Structure 1
Amino acid sequence: MARQFDAALMSVGFKLSGDVLRALSGLSEQTVRSVAVRTLATVREMAGDHVRHNTYFRDFPRNVPDTLDFWLGLLHETLHDAKLAPAAREARESGVLDLLTLKGYGRYRHTYEEMLAAQDELVAAAGDRVTVLRLGRPLAEEAARLYLRLAESTTPLGEEDLETLEKLAAHHASGPHPERIPVRENRAVINRVRLALGAGLLVDTVTDVLRLACALSDGDVTLQEPTRFVSMPRPTRRALLAALDGVVRDAPGKLGDVAAWREPWKRLGERLHPHEYPKWAGAADVFAVARGEKRAPSFAARFEARLADGDAAGAARVAAGAPGTLFRSLDRLLRLAPDSRDAVLDTAESVIERVSGRVLLSVREHLLDRAGEAGRTRLFANRLGLGAAVPDTRPPLGPDAAERLSAMLEKEVRGRLPAVGRLVVDPDVLDVALPLSGKAAGKGLGVLPRGSLTPVDGELLRFFVYWRQHERRTDFDLSALMLDENYGNPEWLSYTNLSTVAGEHSGDITTAPEGASEFINLTLAKVEARFVVPQVNIYSGEGFEEVEESFFGFMLRDAEQRGRPFEARTVRMKSELRGPGRIALPLVFLRGDDGRWRAKWLHLHLGGAMNFNRVEDNRVTTSMLLRGIVERRYLTVRHLVDLLDAGRTTVWDGTPPGEPVTFIGLERPDGLHDNSTVYTPENLSDLIPA
């Protein structure tokens, strides 16, 4: 039964490691069957194989018609149909025909089984993906380890991980408890549990208390969305007010933080009734500042006042009270006052040990693009992944200041990284971008941080989108924009252009009550463009956040493999589509000077129009955004590897060392010593120093 389970896993690109196979073989057949059923369902969903992927053109990618012939055929069929649908009949009589009313357009014209019957079997290839499943620890131990890892994360968590942390925190109310919680949002989730236990709260700013109040009201601890505060029992109100009083009593200057969240503080004051507790005068001051009854200049106001006076060195000294903010402002300070550069950097150096490692690395990454030539494109992306690109008009930083700052940052980061004995590195991981934030990065199989570069080894590249509407008729359109080395000369594949010399589109599906898929198939050797940009346009209906389910991914195959349009074991990446925009740009494929193709991860959205988004209409915006991210330099794993204090560093050659090592790679290889420390994309953020 264990071997049958292993064979079933291999059909979808997964495999049991030797220790799992041995462990399962010692259990009863019924137990193994139960494990197999649950595990197969999980891994199939990870790869996107839990749904039926049909295609509009049954033989895709073979026999895809010419676009004009296809539309003329539909038109002919519709106009000669004696039983026209009312909408088509009315349109014909008016002389204006809605293409969506053409007979058979936008809906599958064959069953899933008929599509499978028309396809050849997939020929196994050495390049097919194999993801090894390894033996875990007992459930309680795994849950505790995950809880502590998420709670102690040095980088902000994505929405899904933050929800996981909240569930695990409630489950581990009695322990174990994390020793440190660097990220404020995580701290709010943990403080909720500590409050229930009667333990002391971990707060050192008034905003920590506001975040906790949001958590208690099941609101947004990131403070980006308004929270409707609930009525709180008296013990909870006392705990929050006492915490506020303690923060303000120890550092009255922290009242300046209140102005940034004035409205939430006003609403919270209506729930906490601070006037009932006169002994906590500091807490009352917080709400007095929020109402404008007490003046407390914000940190930003004091900082800007110094800059307005031309006193950059004084502004730096003010910002030293919030070292992270000082370091985020260094570019501006160094540009505005060239004569004060040494004083500004002296102040920064005096507080650098109080700055988080994530901020230090973010500033170091920022410097990579500030030492380049003028006229570059500047990329902006918010926490939700909405992207924008504008020309970079900032004057360059002085080379001496940039060099001193870079050396200062690298020295501090190097001192915080752990010493390792023998370091083994898989070269494929070196160009993966450091995960300095978990936000705006999709969850799924093979997903990497924005800016990561990975090789694309295969003759056929096929990407896909799947969506299932929730309530309203919804039409997603998969397209591919192809651009030359100057980001011009656009060509595209979409429902308006079904085929080119290099590839084919599987056909347009315009409604998905039971789910729908679209594919684009490319023969990479025939692609003349330098960049291939897959995008998912919402033509009409529900957004990415509203549909029941939606995801994007890509497959790689050899030319002779054939197979169904969707084959799980050829899937290299599959990611949920979530975001506020109406156009999704998951990644871009780039052809290098050496002729090899690579994928660069975008995780971006464009706002787009409410309806009728098409690749032809947004190609200019997409080109600008693409230039911004392709030309932007990211801090990668290679940078940290160079900084690590390793006794000996070797490249992974497929042979596991017999001793414990620190291994960094895309996945954990078989045969590593049990006491090895392993970093893969799943826990790469653990490498970011606190």
Structure 2
Amino acid sequence: MANRLASVVLRHTHRLPAPEGSAGDGAAAARQFDAALLSVGFKLSADLLAHLSGLSPAAVVHTATRTLRTVREMVGDHVAHNTYFIDFPANVPDTEEFWTRCVAEALRDREARGSVLSQLARGVLNLLSLPSYGRYQHTYEEMLAVQDELIASAGDRLTVLHLGGALDDEVTALYLALAGSTTPLGEEHLADLKLLAERCATGPQPESIPVRENRAVVNEARLAVGADLLLDTVTDVLRLACALSGGDVTLREPTRFRTVPRPVRRALLAGLDAVVAESPAKLCDVHAYREPFKRLGERLHPHEYPRWPHAAEVFAVARGEKEARSLDSRAQRLLGEGDVPGAVGLLRAAPGKLFRALDHLLRIAAGQEERDVVVAAAVEVAPQVSGRVVLAVREHLLNRERESGERRVFVNRRGRAWVAADVRPAVPAEDRGRLIAALDAELRRRLPVPARLLVDPDVLDVALPLSGRATTAGLGVLPRGSVSAVDGELLRFFVYWKERGRRTDYDLSALLLNADYSTDSWLSYTSLKTVGGEHSGDITEAPDGASEFINLGLDRVRGTFVVPQVNIYTGEGFDEAEESFFGFMLRDGEQKGRPFEPRTVRMKSELRGPGRVALPLAFKRERDGRWKAKWLHLYLTGISSGNRVEENQASVSRVVRAVMEREQLTVRYLVGLMTDADGTTVVESWDGKSVPDAPVTYIGLERPEGLHPDSRIITLENLRDLIPG
């Protein structure tokens, strides 16, 4: 368990809990450890190297073994990445030439010859029937033997691992940060919070747990140790019941409730009773989840516990036996009657709901006087609205300046995307401007005003992580909408997957678009070579894991946009496969090396989402010729089987265009609010070299070495801490 917890801390913080062991001369072993890390793009900080050097060689080796295992998983180097074409990217054949070669080899094969001749006579040929198609024709070791060694470059990724405190201290700090997050966590981070909560349920707790899903995970751990539950709505109890049944605490997917022991039933019913007894109006929350509550009631048997009558009311409302009118239904009735001021007055009691309805209220208001009522109410309740919602509305207003009829992208909680024309009437510019000014003032009030702010310029265009679901677990992954520079001559995408129980074929492809988002060309298993790039070859099954690559010389690409995608041709979905991830590498033109070189990996992200087509990010050539990446983390529905880049190019183009043209609130926006309050903040742009001696607030992609111990440090790993509560 200690090793697992240390691995979680390392993945989240890039801090290695202070290794323990007997004292000794471990300097030589520590240097060897550092060299091994360099081969996968990591290194030890000076403090960590010094600490390890004071331990025995055996202790250093023990630490190195588990740490290398973790960082290799972080970068995707824990699996063998083979390629169909053994010397990829060299000598990749044209598609027709390759298929013809496979047919010729099949005709020389006694077992396959008859089937192939029969298919050719019918004029239709199944590529999977050809013995040499879709399956590796050489071992991983044979592929490595024909590849040149990587030439080291100053541009290779180098991620520094820092010295942490004692394991218990690091685990507690990470638990408090995740549990108290002001933004929802992604699925992987929720799983990590569950592990941490089991260890920390009886220890220090965050001042508040504002995100309901986080609270459910923490309550599950608290229930196991007999601690008081943290409940203030009936939905908190429903989420806890889902957690106890191994279900979805976000309530997006239905949960099959398990039979629970009597002590757990009593705890859940007592919790429901206490919540309703304190505030009977909270019964109206049942309407949003009537069916799950009905199914839960069948497991809890509330009629057996007359001492908790208010809990029984919850299930009576779910069954329609008791009326509990919700705030939403009353507001809808008033709006249906054209009473906008009345609806606004009602929604003042639920500031978050009022904020989410602002656009609708402003559009249906009858004249300026009613719009003034809406704006005044929003300004009044703004201090009661969570920072995440204030920022979301601020970003929404940023994009409402565009004319009606333009494309609007919709993204659900799991990253599934679709596009439709925006037919909403415009929000009057004056009202929009007043709201923006009020929201800026409210956010400025909440943000800290540091005396000295040190900012890495590379972080300024990173989108604010208003939800952990707008990103994925991995290394170097930025939130959806972020923009980052692409420094390198060769761009190489990779996908890896391993099927769990049935044949699964993922196809890595890249769509090349012109400036007007029309198709220029593509790279896929049906187009192995095109201007600027090569495909590593189609792999059609992955019982032991499989990889595909696309290599692009950026100076040779004709189009303006490059959109990598992963299509599920057949088999298990991204959520079903045993393992699946995507990433990209950047190299200089003469670096050579294996198809997969961990130290050149800039990003590796898990593929875990709905739909049959994954769009991790898109690349755009700017007017000055430089390339930038915009992060998507989107999934398209696709079709049940046979997804191909040729068939989805139109839908992909529409989604990419909508996202590329949407404006995001970025770190740059918050930095501006933090520094223009009274002019007392000293703002410095970090040059990557000099580090101040005094404490600073540092915001950057990675933590520099040598910062003052009292500094506040914000990096990608804890960027959510920038979001005010």
Give the alignment's TM-score, normalised by structure 2. Answer: 0.92
Task: Please list the CA deviations of residues 527-581 of structure 1 after superposition, one character each: whole Å capped at 9, or x if unmatched.
Answer: 1111100001111112111222111110101111111111111100011111121
Task: Please list the CA deviations of residues 315-361 of structure 1 after superposition, one character each: whole Å capped at 9, or x if unmatched.
Answer: 12222222111101100000111521111122222222211110000
Change (3 A) 1:406 1:109: same
Cross-structure match for 1:271:
299
After superposition, residues 193-204 of structure 1 pair within 5 angstroms as 193-204=221-232
**Of 578, 581, 593, which aligns to 1:551?**
581
Cross-structure match for 1:658:
693
Cross-structure match for 2:400:
370
The 1-side partners of 2:261 and 2:595 are apart by 57
After superposition, residues 282-293 of structure 1 pair within 5 angstroms as 282-293=310-321
After superposition, residues 593-612 of structure 1 pair within 5 angstroms as 593-612=623-642
**Of 515, 519, 522, which aligns to 1:485?**
515
CA deviation after TM superposition for structure 1 residue 196, in Å:
4.4
For residue 691 of structure 2, what is the amino acid of its counterpart? P
CA deviation after TM superposition for structure 1 residue 412, in Å:
1.2
**Are 2:116 and 1:88 aligned?**
yes
For residue 497 of structure 1, what is the amino acid of its counterpart? S
- Which portions of structure 1, spanning 4 or more consecutive aligned residues, are displaced by more than 4 angstroms? 92-95, 196-199
**Are 2:102 and 1:74 aligned?**
yes
The 1-side partners of 2:712 and 2:308 are apart by 48
The 1-side partners of 2:611 and 2:259 are apart by 35
The 2-side partners of 1:71 and 1:420 are apart by 63
CA deviation after TM superposition for structure 1 residue 365, in Å:
0.7
Q: Which is further off, 597-606 or 344-353?
A: 344-353
Cross-structure match for 1:649:
683
The 1-side partners of 2:220 and 2:73 are apart by 33
CA deviation after TM superposition for structure 1 residue 94, in Å:
5.1
The 1-side partners of 2:164 and 2:610 are apart by 36
SS of structure 2 residue aligned to 1:120: coil
Cross-structure match for 2:410:
380
Q: Which is further off, 112-121 or 597-606?
A: 112-121
SS of structure 1 residue aligned to 2:530: coil
Task: Please list the CA deviations of residues 475-523 of structure 1 after superposition, one character each: whole Å capped at 9, or x if unmatched.
Answer: 1111100111111033101111111121111111111222111111111
SS of structure 2 residue aligned to 1:210: helix
**Are 2:711 and 1:681 aligned?**
no
Task: Please list the CA deviations of residues 583-631 of structure 1 after superposition, one character each: whole Å capped at 9, or x if unmatched.
Answer: 1110000111221101110001111111111000000000111111101
The 2-side partners of 1:545 and 1:193 are apart by 25
SS of structure 2 residue aligned to 1:439: helix
Cross-structure match for 1:149:
177
SS of structure 1 residue aligned to 2:363: helix
Cross-structure match for 1:56:
84
SS of structure 2 residue aligned to 1:42: helix
The 2-side partners of 1:468 and 1:247 are apart by 46
**Are 2:609 and 1:579 aligned?**
yes
**Are 2:213 and 1:185 aligned?**
yes
After superposition, residues 299-318 of structure 1 pair within 5 angstroms as 299-318=327-346
Cross-structure match for 1:255:
283
Q: Which is further off, 167-176 or 582-591?
A: 167-176
Q: Which is further off, 341-350 or 278-287?
A: 278-287
**Are 2:484 and 1:449 aligned?**
no
Cross-structure match for 2:458:
428
Cross-structure match for 2:157:
129
For residue 478 of structure 2, what is the amino acid of its counterpart? L
User: Residue 40 of structure 2 contacts residue 599 of structure 2 at CA under 8 Å; is this kept in 1?
Assistant: yes
The 2-side partners of 1:284 and 1:469 are apart by 46
SS of structure 1 residue aligned to 2:642: coil
For residue 192 of structure 1, what is the amino acid of its counterpart? E
Task: Please list the CA deviations of residues 156-192 of structure 1 after superposition, one character each: whole Å capped at 9, or x if unmatched.
Answer: 1111111221221121222112211111111122233
Change (3 A) 1:193 1:97: closer
Q: Which is further off, 308-317 or 663-672?
A: 308-317
**Of 205, 209, 233, which aligns to 2:233?**
205
Cross-structure match for 2:37:
9
CA deviation after TM superposition for structure 1 residue 397, in Å:
0.5
Change (3 A) 1:56 1:194: closer
The 2-side partners of 1:239 and 1:520 are apart by 54
The alignment yields a C-alpha RMSD, in angstroms, of: 1.7
Cross-structure match for 2:645:
615
The 2-side partners of 1:214 and 1:96 are apart by 50
**Uncovered stretches (5+) of structure 1, i.e. residues with no partner:** none
The 2-side partners of 1:278 and 1:71 are apart by 74
SS of structure 1 residue aligned to 2:555: helix
After superposition, residues 330-349 of structure 1 pair within 5 angstroms as 330-339=358-367, 340-349=370-379
**Of 359, 363, 383, which aligns to 1:353?**
383
Change (3 A) 1:618 1:257: same
**Are 2:263 and 1:228 aligned?**
no
The 1-side partners of 2:708 and 2:191 are apart by 33
CA deviation after TM superposition for structure 1 residue 300, in Å:
1.7
**Of 115, 119, 123, which aligns to 2:147?**
119
The 2-side partners of 1:150 and 1:333 are apart by 35
Q: Which is further off, 336-345 or 73-82?
A: 73-82
Cross-structure match for 1:34:
62
Q: Which is further off, 522-531 or 234-243?
A: 234-243
Cross-structure match for 1:507:
537
Change (3 A) 1:199 1:12: closer
Cross-structure match for 1:319:
347
SS of structure 1 residue aligned to 2:681: strand
**Uncovered stretches (5+) of structure 2, i.e. residues with no partner:** 1-28
The 2-side partners of 1:82 and 1:190 are apart by 63
**Are 2:671 and 1:671 aligned?**
no
The 2-side partners of 1:663 and 1:272 are apart by 50
The 2-side partners of 1:614 and 1:237 are apart by 50
Task: Please list the CA deviations of residues 247-294 of structure 1 after superposition, one character each: whole Å capped at 9, or x if unmatched.
Answer: 333333222211111111112222333334445443232222111111
User: Residue 284 of structure 2 contacts residue 326 of structure 2 at CA under 8 Å; is this kept in 1?
Assistant: yes
The 1-side partners of 2:140 and 2:431 are apart by 63
Change (3 A) 1:284 1:513: closer
Task: Please list the CA deviations of residues 29-80 of structure 1 after superposition, one character each: whole Å capped at 9, or x if unmatched.
Answer: 1111111111112111111111111111112111111222222222223234
The 1-side partners of 2:156 and 2:187 are apart by 31
Q: Which is further off, 154-163 or 182-191?
A: 182-191
Task: Please list the CA deviations of residues 129-180 of structure 1 after superposition, one character each: whole Å capped at 9, or x if unmatched.
Answer: 1011111111100110011111100001111111221221121222112211
SS of structure 1 residue aligned to 2:185: coil
Q: Which is further off, 665-674 or 435-444?
A: 435-444
The 1-side partners of 2:201 and 2:55 are apart by 33
